[in-house]
């Protein structure tokens, strides 16, 4: 057996560099490698899994002779226990780098405020929103959210922070505002999660603890007045053709106004036997994607619309700025100009269609409600019932379009 602990601090200090590097052995596989530039490095040679390995221990004099021997002892013990000290060292180095990276990210998160993320999210939505809605959303954040935690790191905001913020609005009786702000906070924190600015969504799941605003009753025309309305619309020479087409499309498909305004051509599949419009979840009030079967009349309206706006971008864009969706008030102002101010709203066509379909007694309640994108039943029952009723809804929408056409010839 080769002798151990052959070196001394003095012999190491006195070791002079040579033209070529050389080794000073201390025993048990450890030696000091002396380089021509005078540098001295501790190394340990050992066998692991039938292969020779060399572990770098450190630089002398940073690692003294005593320290080097202790490290040799620790390495030998690990080898005996079946642990490769080189692999362990590599893992420790990687763990250190990972921790450093995580610490850096954490420090960066502290500089990312709620306001910064909210305005980044807001900027990404503006092309899909009308000018008024864009301003309304930003103002609701400026007046109702930013004063409480706009300048705080978004990763530090808790569910309790959000609850306290919303309770101020609720205590003032601003139930509608409270609910809208809550929905916007949910969406902003979802965006923040995706961008890895925070973990979890503190605004999610709060609906049950706040007073739900009373539903608005939208003015609507009785079905008996619909023929006159459509005739006035057809005869109006002052409206843009795109406005008329959008209004007729609304009557035929009776979706929510925002879903119609935000419709994009790539949401439609018209080149098939069963044309379909897939309304994305982010354009739906309830956040659930809706499949809208299209009647032959609806397809014809879209084909006419393509002459003005297609085949890319918004289906119903602004006339003066095609890069933006039709203003949320365009159809309402058109209806008002026809003489129906206070008597009819665009949303009211949903009521007309729903009432007529139910009164016809041809269609099951759940089929009509699915097309209306209303949530039917309890949360538990909805979790198990994923029925789309697509074939029945296709039949129903074609029947409704035929019925609307029949009113025009009365």
- List residues with catalytic annotation: 256, 285, 347, 350, 374, 384
CA–CA separation, 169 vs 352, rounded Å? 34
pLDDT at 240: 93
CATH architecture of the domain formed by 9-84:
2-Layer Sandwich (3.30)
CATH of domain 114-209: 1.10.150.130
pLDDT at 141: 94
- 11's enclosing H/E stretch is helix 9-14
pLDDT averaged over consecutive 10-residue blocks of the chain (410 residues)?
A: 76 92 91 92 90 90 92 91 87 82 67 92 82 84 94 92 93 88 94 89 89 72 89 90 94 91 91 90 70 94 91 89 86 90 86 91 91 62 55 94 85
CA–CA separation, 329 vs 337, rounded Å? 12
Q: What residues pair up with 279 in beta bridges, in sequence order?
A: 290
pLDDT at 389: 87
Backbone torsion region of residue 174, taken as left when φ is above 0, otherwise alpha when ψ lies between -120 and 50, otherwise beta: beta
Question: Which residues are CB-neighbours of 178 under 8 A, at least 6 positions away?
Answer: 166, 169, 170, 210, 211, 213
* Full strand arrangement of the beta sheet holding 290-293: 268-269, 276-279, 290-293
Question: Which residues are CB-neighbours of 142 under 8 A, at least 6 positions away?
Answer: none
CA–CA separation, 60 vs 67, rounded Å? 10
pLDDT at 167: 93
The CATH T-level fold of domain 223-408 is hpI Integrase; Chain A (1.10.443)
**Hey, how many other C-beta atoms are within 10 angstroms of the C-beta on 42?**
25
The answer to whether residues 257 and 350 touch, using CB atoms and an 8 Å cutoff, is no
pLDDT at 107: 64
pLDDT at 283: 61
Question: Which residues are CB-neighbours of 276 under 8 A, at least 6 positions away?
Answer: 268, 269, 291, 292, 293, 294
Among the listed residues 284, 303, 244, the one whose alpha carbon sits nearest the alpha carbon of residue 371:
284
Task: Give, in order, the Cα–Cα distances in Å from 259 to each of 14, 27, 79, 282.
Answer: 84, 79, 67, 9
pLDDT at 92: 84
pLDDT at 285: 61
CA–CA separation, 323 vs 312, rounded Å? 10
The answer to whether residues 178 and 210 touch, using CB atoms and an 8 Å cutoff, is yes
Question: Which residues are CB-neighbours of 258 under 8 A, at least 6 positions away?
Answer: 283, 285, 328
Domain boundaries, the chain: 9-84, 114-209, 223-408
């Amino acid at each position: 057996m080769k002798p151990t602990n052959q070196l001394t601090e003095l012999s190491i200090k006195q070791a002079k560099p040579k033209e070529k590097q050389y080794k000073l052995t201390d025993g048990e596989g450890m030696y000091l490698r002396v380089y021509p530039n005078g540098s001295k490095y501790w190394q340990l040679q050992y066998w692991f899994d039938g292969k020779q390995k060399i572990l770098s221990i450190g630089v002398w004099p940073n690692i003294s002779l005593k320290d080097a021997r202790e490290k040799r002892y620790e390495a030998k013990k690990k080898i005996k226990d079946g642990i490769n000290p080189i692999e362990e060292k590599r893992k420790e180095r990687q763990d250190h780098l990972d921790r450093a990276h995580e610490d850096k990210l954490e420090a960066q998160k502290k500089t990312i405020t709620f306001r910064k993320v909210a305005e980044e999210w807001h900027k990404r939505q503006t092309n899909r929103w009308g000018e008024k809605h864009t301003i309304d959303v930003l103002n609701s954040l400026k007046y109702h959210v930013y004063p409480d935690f706009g300048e705080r790191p978004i990763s530090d905001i808790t569910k309790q922070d959000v609850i306290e913020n919303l309770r101020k609005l609720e205590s003032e009786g601003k139930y509608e505002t409270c609910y809208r702000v809550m929905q916007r906070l949910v969406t902003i924190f979802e965006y923040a999660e995706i961008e890895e600015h925070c973990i979890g969504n503190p605004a999610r799941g709060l609906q049950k603890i706040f007073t739900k605003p009373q539903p608005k009753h939208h003015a609507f025309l009785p079905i008996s007045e619909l023929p006159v309305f459509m005739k006035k619309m057809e005869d109006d020479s002052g409206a843009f053709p795109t406005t008329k087409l959008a209004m007729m499309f609304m009557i035929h498909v009776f979706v929510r106004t925002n879903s119609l305004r935000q419709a994009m051509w790539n949401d439609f599949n018209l080149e098939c036997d069963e044309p379909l419009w897939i309304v994305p979840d982010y354009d739906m009030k309830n956040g659930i994607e809706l499949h809208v079967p299209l009647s032959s009349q609806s397809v014809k309206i879209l084909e006419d619309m393509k002459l003005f706006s297609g085949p890319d971008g918004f289906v119903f864009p602004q006339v003066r700025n095609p890069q933006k969706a039709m203003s949320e008030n365009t159809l309402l102002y058109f209806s008002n100009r026809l003489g129906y101010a206070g008597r009819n709203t665009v949303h009211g066509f949903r009521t007309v269609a729903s009432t007529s379909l139910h009164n016809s007694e041809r269609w099951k309640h759940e089929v009509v409600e699915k097309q209306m994108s209303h949530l039917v039943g309890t949360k538990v029952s909805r979790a198990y019932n994923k029925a789309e009723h697509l074939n029945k809804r296709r039949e129903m929408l074609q029947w409704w379009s035929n019925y609307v056409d029949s009113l025009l010839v009365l």
